[in-house]
Structure 1
Amino acid sequence: MIASLTAMIAASALSLSGPEEDVAAVLDQLNVASTAADAEAYFGLFTPDARFIGTDASERWSLDAFRAFAEPYFAQGRGWTYTPVARHITIAPIPCRCIAWFDEELSNASYGVTRGSGVLRLTENGWKIEQYVLSFAIPNDKADAVVAVVRETPAP
């Protein structure tokens, strides 16, 4: 496995599109699959041991738990749409080039401006999402009001 992973890393480093573009393509596929409510395509973009951290303090899901939560929505054809507005990708330096970090500004019809951030790992099957964090972007001048509401809410 190490030899094949090393070959994949070398091939990725030499690809015409480059690892940043490859990672961006995975994130774009994630948004397409969630909009289409395509559970197989969506969850196929994650590593088996991935984590999804949602906007609520209680939302730290293993991939299996997140899939159990989301699949009933997807089965009804109800996905979610987050449109990338800006994105930053960092690839681990040589010799690895096998880990990528990203943060992106997203637009959502219900929530407005949100952020996605996380980590991808280069696997034998290409780049896969290891961790995804979805958060609300709170304007600094509104933070006190939001914090007041959060403090009134019992901890999970």
Structure 2
Amino acid sequence: MLALVAALALPMAPLQSPEAEVAATIDALHVAASSADSAAYFALFTPDARFIGTDAAERWTLPEFRAYAEPVFARGQGWTYTPVERTVTLAPIACRCIAWFDEVLNNKSYGVTRGSGVLRLTDGGWKIEQYVLSFAVPNDQARAVVETIRSPE
């Protein structure tokens, strides 16, 4: 009994805040993508998740996105987006089971990009419901980019 009392008196490691847990989930997503770890990557999504990519046609369900990404990962290739800054917001106190975020990312090929999305707290921890990747186009270059997109090939 004395050992139990002594054990209870030991300082406990502080629990992570929900915002830190959400950030850790997003960080794990980026690490898994960079290391082409398909199992770890897709385990971070809810079964009904969506991935919205940079191309207007890239609005994928999780099975569709998995069909695209798994062959890439199987070749040992991934994609590396390094977070530069991130804002995480939790739903109001009553729930605190939904979080949304936006982040600025660096990528070797594309430069500065943005990620944003929604996570849901599940029995298995925070899972990604939706992830959106977009290019960060400077306002003074937006017209030229729009014209390029509109131009027929």
**Is the pair's TM-score, using the shorter chain for normalization, greater than 0.5?**
yes
Matching of residue 53 in structure 1 with residue 42 in structure 2: no
The one-letter code of the counterpart of 1:58 is A
Deviations 1:14-49 (A, max 9, x none): x72110000000000001000110000000000000
What is the match of residue 64 of structure 2?
65
- 1:149–1:89: structure 2 CA closer, same or farther, 3 Å change rule? same
What is the match of residue 136 of structure 2?
137
What is the match of residue 7 of structure 1?
none
The one-letter code of the counterpart of 1:94 is I
TM-score, length of structure 1 as denominator length: 0.88
Matching of residue 34 in structure 1 with residue 20 in structure 2: no
Runs of 4+ off more than 3 Å: none
The one-letter code of the counterpart of 1:66 is F
Matching of residue 124 in structure 1 with residue 117 in structure 2: no
Question: What is the CA–CA distance in structure 1 between the aligned matches of 2:18 and 2:90, rounded to whole Å?
Answer: 7
What is the match of residue 111 of structure 2?
112
Question: What is the CA–CA distance in structure 2 between the aligned matches of 1:99 and 1:51, rounded to whole Å?
Answer: 16
What is the match of residue 96 of structure 2?
97
- 1:48–1:147: structure 2 CA closer, same or farther, 3 Å change rule? same
Aligned-residue offset at 1:94:
1.3
Aligned-residue offset at 1:153:
4.7
The one-letter code of the counterpart of 1:99 is I
SS in 1 for 2:95: coil
What is the match of residue 81 of structure 1?
80
RMSD: 1.1
Percent of pairs with identical residues: 70
Question: What is the CA–CA distance in structure 1 between the aligned matches of 2:148 and 2:47, rounded to whole Å?
Answer: 35
Deviations 1:52-98 (A, max 9, x none): 00000000000000000000010000000000000000000111000
Question: What is the CA–CA distance in structure 2 between the aligned matches of 1:17 and 1:74, rounded to whole Å?
Answer: 31
SS in 2 for 1:106: strand
What is the match of residue 10 of structure 1?
none
Could you list the runs of 5+ residues in structure 1 that have no partner in the other structure?
1-14
SS in 2 for 1:79: coil
Q: Determine which structure has more spread, i.e. the larger CA radius of gyration.
A: 2
The one-letter code of the counterpart of 1:121 is R
Question: What is the CA–CA distance in structure 1 between the aligned matches of 2:24 and 2:93, rounded to whole Å?
Answer: 21
What is the match of residue 151 of structure 2?
152
Question: What is the CA–CA distance in structure 2 between the aligned matches of 1:67 and 1:110, rounded to whole Å?
Answer: 22
Counting matched residue pairs gives 140
